Structure formats: structure tokens, C-alpha cells
Amino acid sequence: MPELAKDFQTMPAEYQQVILLAQEANKVAITPLQLLVGGWSGAVVYLVSVAWTETRRVEHCILKLDRKSKKAKSDEGTRHNTVMEKAAPEFARAHIAELIFDRIEHEGAIAIFYRIAGESLQKYRPLSNYERQSQLKTIFTVTNKIL
């Protein structure tokens, strides 16, 4: 079984196990690059480097670690697939993150990997980075018009 990156070794045991299973199932090595903040769901979200062991190809991805909700009617993967099916293909390609691997689940812990649009986060920041009311108003006004 592949080794767990040092930064992941302080995480809860179920998250460590689901990361190890993801590495083994997908024949990759996963290295955390940055803990991403700004989420409200309680999930742990990382920017990670994924290196395929056979081809040595490396890609930066988003790794979301969460616990399966017993109350939820559907899980994130199901909701993502529904959105992809209902969205116009050109909109989906431009605006919806692509799932890279099948979801990995172990003892209630879930690992989901998303491909980063444009393969970079350099031009993107979470809403929590914007503190001025005028900035937030502009963002929400434009978003509302688009939607």
C-alpha cells in the first residue's frame, strides 16, 4: 500500500485510510499542497498534487474529505452527476469542475477529487478574501445577473 504524505498523518484515522485507499485504487501518489479555507460544510478541502505512478504525470486537483451524512437524501457525487446531466454541455465544460476518480468511501469517510478548471487556482480566491462590502456587492450583483 502506498505511503501517506506527512501532512496527512495528523488527520483523523478515517481520512487517512480513505486517502490511502484512493492512492491504491487509482495508482497515484497524493501530496497536500495547501489547505483551502472558506468552506461552510465542515469538510476538509485541500489543493493536492496527484502523481500517477505509471506515467509520472502530475496534476493539481482539489481533494474534498467529508463524512457521509445519514440525513442527506443524496450524496455530493450524485448531485454533481445530476447537475452535469441537466446543464448545457458548453456551460458544464466552462463552469463545473470535473470529477477525476470515482468517489472513495470507507467507514463513513468520503474522498472526492475534482479537476481544477484551467489547471490552476492562481486567478481564483474564496469569497472570504473579500472584506469590503462594495466588493461583495459587485460580485453578487454580477453573479445574480449571470444566473
pLDDT for the residue 52: 93
Asked, for residue 90, whether it belongs to a domain, the answer is yes
pLDDT for the residue 23: 95
pLDDT for the residue 134: 87
Q: What is the pTM assigned to this prediction?
A: 0.72
Asked, for residue 109, whether it belongs to a domain, the answer is yes
Asked, for residue 17, whether it belongs to a domain, the answer is yes
Asked, for residue 136, whether it belongs to a domain, the answer is yes
The DSSP element (H or E) to which 24 belongs, if any, is helix 13-26
Q: List the CATH number of the domain containing 142.
A: 3.30.200.20
Asked, for residue 1, whether it belongs to a domain, the answer is no
Mean pLDDT of residues grouped by 10 in the chain (147 residues)?
Answer: 81 91 95 76 84 90 84 72 84 81 89 76 64 84 79
Q: How many domains does the chain have?
A: 1
pLDDT for the residue 40: 63
Asked, for residue 62, whether it belongs to a domain, the answer is yes
For the chain, the maximum distance between any two Cα atoms, rounded to a whole number of angstroms, is: 51
